Structure 1
């Protein structure tokens, strides 16, 4: 009898990864509540060890063998590094600087208030066992969970605003400015949380070497034709991610830094849009599945859901409160604060990446990771249903 090889099992896993969420999304017509990326995340959770793996352990043991999971994790890591690189490239702070008072007030309150609300929720979670990771200090857990509640996923926000047809409108460009500033703050706080005092020399050395390498890299990119820049960009990504991970900062921080120092106008915008689309289409579903495989319910399924709801309330209430405070200070038109507040709720990818890093560094437990993942999914699913009627009301005026 023919023994099933690792490659054959891997291909079975890949077929499941692409088939199941697509059928749910297409046949269920979920796009209004749950875009395909959200369905892929939910499917990853369902296919993981906590749900289908627990109900059908034979299926899980056959498909997700250690060798297959290792391959999936490697593909998923490269996919998300590419995605974070592109997010860094597309980060344009020039418009935020031009409107720095409005952008600074709004971005600061939109990030700061939910961070405080989320940190208070984290303090409550610390009173119970099973939430903090084995290597996490209390302050790292509190700041990490608080920031997870404050995150806005800039790439997914762009997709949702395209769906609402406001991306190129003034309100859409304003929201992009706020989200861009928050994106910088998110990675800055993450770098602070990940500071390893035992390896601080390595981290300082990496940052100094990175600064010098940036000057040489940018000179090289300006000197070569665009067709060569794509290859050099990928080499740069791998080198920066390695350096950041070697220093203890995590390869995702390196991927973001690699993208931030790349000028978007070095590449044709249509080609960059296609690259982002193809990464989402071809590779990111593997990351979503590998993320779902990391979910656990070891403190009790109901308890994890309760934690997710508490974190969701902290995130939503904090974001809306912060944006409404900004609206009052800046004297926005009626309805603008509600629309902006709900659109900035979009978490999905960036929050999941953020939580993955916290889990990798053992700052949070798998149970906290699962709660944060559920919170990110619910928050993102609320965005379009809550923003659409508010946009219609504004347009109607």
Structure 2
């Protein structure tokens, strides 16, 4: 029998990654309640060590070898860096500042309340062993889980707003403003969690060097043509990712910052949309499936599912409560807070990136990661079915 070469094994894994989730999504028509990205992550869970690896260990060991997983991780790292970089560019901080009163109240409460409820859930989880990683202090685990419950995934939110045909409508732009501040907050919290006093000199040096380099890059970007800006931006992305990782802040912090300091007006909207969709189509499936491959159930499946259910209640309930409080303060019309609260439930990307980093740094365990991943999937799958009828009943809201 012919022994497959490493290249053949890698390509077979890629064939599985792109074929299986797509067929499930297309044949079963799951798009309403489970978009393709969710199906891809679920596919990774089913193909991972906890399910396929347990049922067919020989098959799993043949396809997902350490060399193959290493290659997939390399593709996934670059894919998600590009995706987060685009998310950083699309932050409209100028508009958020112009409407800072309303935006600050809504975004602040939509973040703070689920952060508190998620942290309470984390405290309850930590009463049992198996959730705290070997390198994680208790405060890091609690803050990390709380933030995971609070964040809204801006890139997935954009896809959902496009699907609901409200992305360019006033309500869509309002919701993007609220989510944008959440996106900034999660990277700030991540930097705090990863702050390493033994390497604080490096981290300070990175921030100073980044500030100086940003001034130079912005001057350069303003003077060159758009076709050159794309290439220069990718060089800037790789450099920031390397520098942030060298400093101990993780390459994803650098990736987000590299996009956040660039002006969206330097890139045409159509080309930015095309680039985001290309990354999502061509390389992000590798990240989504490799994320699912990290799931573990060593503390017991029931315990993981129980923790996921607890986190889902804390996340969804906290987000809805925070937005409803904001609605009362700002005197929104009846039903408006509910629709906006459900649209801010999308988590399956930025949150997954966030908890991937916590897992890589062994702050949380594979079981905690699995519970958070299941919570993110459930929260994201609930968004469109819950908000679609609300938007139909509140037709006038779309234009407000």
Q: TM-score, normalised by structure 2?
A: 0.98
In structure 2, what is the Cα distance between the partners aligned to 1:162 and 1:271? 16
Residue of structure 2 in register with 1:379 after alignment: 379
In structure 2, what is the Cα distance between the partners aligned to 1:227 and 1:168? 25
In structure 1, what is the Cα distance between the partners aligned to 2:170 and 2:273? 21
In structure 2, what is the Cα distance between the partners aligned to 1:253 and 1:300? 33
Secondary structure at the aligned position of 1:348 is classed as coil
Matches within 5 A, 1:133-148: 133-148=133-148
Deviation, 1:371, is: 0.3
Matches within 5 A, 1:248-327: 248-327=248-327
Residue of structure 2 in register with 1:393 after alignment: 393
Residue of structure 2 in register with 1:176 after alignment: 176
Matches within 5 A, 1:2-21: 2-21=2-21
In structure 1, what is the Cα distance between the partners aligned to 2:173 and 2:333? 16
Deviation, 1:2, is: 2.9
Secondary structure at the aligned position of 1:128 is classed as coil
Q: CA RMSD in A?
A: 1.0
In structure 2, what is the Cα distance between the partners aligned to 1:42 and 1:210? 37
Residue of structure 2 in register with 1:197 after alignment: 197
Give structure 1 stretches of 5+ with no counterpart.
none
User: Residues 179-228 of structure 1, C-alpha deviation per residue, up to 9 Å, x if partnerless?
Assistant: 11111111111111110111111100000010111111111212222221
Deviation, 1:3, is: 2.1
Matched, 1:42 2:42: yes
Secondary structure at the aligned position of 1:288 is classed as helix
In structure 2, what is the Cα distance between the partners aligned to 1:333 and 1:166? 18
Deviation, 1:392, is: 1.2
In structure 2, what is the Cα distance between the partners aligned to 1:42 and 1:223? 45
Deviation, 1:50, is: 0.5
User: Residues 28-55 of structure 1, C-alpha deviation per residue, up to 9 Å, x if partnerless?
Assistant: 0001000111111111111110011111
User: Residues 12-31 of structure 1, C-alpha deviation per residue, up to 9 Å, x if partnerless?
Assistant: 00000000000000000001
Deviation, 1:150, is: 0.3
In structure 1, what is the Cα distance between the partners aligned to 2:131 and 2:162? 37
Deviation, 1:59, is: 1.2
Deviation, 1:376, is: 0.3
Residue of structure 1 in register with 2:150 after alignment: 150
Residue of structure 1 in register with 2:221 after alignment: 221
Give structure 2 stretches of 5+ with no counterpart.
none
Structure 1 stretch displaced more, 140-149 or 286-295: 286-295
Residue of structure 1 in register with 2:188 after alignment: 188
In structure 2, what is the Cα distance between the partners aligned to 1:264 and 1:96? 14
Aligned length: 397
Deviation, 1:396, is: 7.8
In structure 1, what is the Cα distance between the partners aligned to 2:342 and 2:390? 9
In structure 1, what is the Cα distance between the partners aligned to 2:285 and 2:198? 36
In structure 1, what is the Cα distance between the partners aligned to 2:226 and 2:396? 45
Residue of structure 1 in register with 2:110 after alignment: 110
In structure 2, what is the Cα distance between the partners aligned to 1:358 and 1:105? 29
Following TM superposition, the consecutive aligned residue runs of length 4 or more in structure 1 with deviations greater than 2 angstroms are: none
In structure 2, what is the Cα distance between the partners aligned to 1:91 and 1:170? 16
Residue of structure 2 in register with 1:338 after alignment: 338
Q: TM-score, normalised by structure 1?
A: 0.99
Deviation, 1:88, is: 0.3
Residue of structure 2 in register with 1:82 after alignment: 82
